[in-house]
Amino acid sequence: MLPLFVCPSPLLLPSPSKLKEAIVVVIDILRATTSICACLHNGAMGIIPLETVAEALLFKRQEYLIAGERNGYKIEGFDFGNSPSEFSPERVKGKKIAMATTNGTRAIRKAQKAHQVIAGAFSNFSMLCNYLRNQNRPLYLLCAGWQNEVALEDMFFAGALCHALVDAFSLEQDAAHIARQIYLNESEKQNLLLKASHLKRLHNFQKQNDIQLCFAKDIYPTLPYLNKQGEIISLLV
């Protein structure tokens, strides 16, 4: 069986040479990859993942809508923050978006030398699993985390993927077994996830609706992947 690796932090992503034949699934449950799924599912033409606010403001001049946050707060002058519910069909259908988030879009850019980079979230869980099991490629699950620290919700999702794909991939390292164990402790899911620092941060920002959307399974069934032009679009499968 092909190997499946979990990178709990972008700091642990292997060198580009090791990724060139692999698929990297970028995970940022709260909220970047959930928002990316919402955006594309609701009809956006594409999303440019960016590292800095300055880059995004340059895209604004090129008629892009710009989205993003810093430390969870919407950025002054941006069209969107990073709540999945903001990316409604009325606002994004047919539009091109440039997105700069604290961790998620940076993780996507860091993985860009992989054979393929896909955004994963609970929103596209089933579609993602069905796709990954048929690609016959090594798999890296890259948790965006928070400022290079491990995020519990990202590891929980990585564990859910490990568990769902355990018959199709060989879990190659301790991080994959740890992630799967975190998920298998699902009986304490509520308590477990209430410990997540970013979940508490968003809760304090009154983003309860975001949290609900970010843990809702298969609500935005699409496969966002980074194309050769550096744009995230929906993979037609």
Binding window for ligand MLT (CB under 6 A); candidates: 7-15, 99-107, 174-182, 224-232: 99-107
Of the candidate residues 79, 92, 97, 102, the single one contacting ligand MLT (CB under 6 A): 102
Q: At what angle do helices 125-132 and 152-165 cross, to 10 degrees?
A: 50
User: Is 110 an interacting residue with respect to ligand MLT (CB under 6 A)?
Assistant: no
User: Is 75 an interacting residue with respect to ligand MLT (CB under 6 A)?
Assistant: no
Give the long-range contacts of residues 197-203, CB within 8 A, separation 24 or more.
Answer: 197/146, 197/151, 197/152, 198/30, 198/72, 198/146, 198/151, 198/153, 199/30, 199/152, 199/153, 201/71, 201/72, 202/30, 202/31, 202/72
CB-nearer residue toward ligand MLT: 115 or 200: 200
User: Is 224 an interacting residue with respect to ligand MLT (CB under 6 A)?
Assistant: no
Binding window for ligand MLT (CB under 6 A); candidates: 23-31, 124-132, 164-172, 221-229: 23-31
Distance CA 237, CA 216 (A): 22
CA proximity to 218, closest of 4, 26, 41: 41
Binding window for ligand MLT (CB under 6 A); candidates: 52-60, 97-105, 160-168, 170-178: 97-105
Q: C-beta of 188: minimal distance to ligand MLT in Å? A: 24
User: Is 154 an interacting residue with respect to ligand MLT (CB under 6 A)?
Assistant: no
| Total residues in contact with ligand MLT, by rule CB under 6 A | 12
User: Is 144 an interacting residue with respect to ligand MLT (CB under 6 A)?
Assistant: yes
Range 158-217, binding ligand MLT (CB under 6 A): none
User: Is 42 an interacting residue with respect to ligand MLT (CB under 6 A)?
Assistant: no
Of the candidate residues 26, 28, 140, 213, the single one contacting ligand MLT (CB under 6 A): 28
Of the candidate residues 49, 72, 84, 120, the single one contacting ligand MLT (CB under 6 A): 72
> Is the CB of residue 93 less than 8 Å from the CB of residue 44?
yes
Residue 219 phi/psi, 5° resolution? Answer: -85, -20
CB-nearer residue toward ligand MLT: 4 or 75: 75
Distance CA 28, CA 42 (A): 19
Residue 61 CB neighbours (<10 A): 7
Distance CA 29, CA 143 (A): 9
User: Is 104 an interacting residue with respect to ligand MLT (CB under 6 A)?
Assistant: yes
Query: What residues have CB less than 8 Å from 203, skipping those under 6 apart?
Result: 211
CA proximity to 237, closest of 141, 137, 135: 135
Interface with ligand MLT (CB under 6 A): 28, 30-32, 69, 72, 82, 101-104, 144
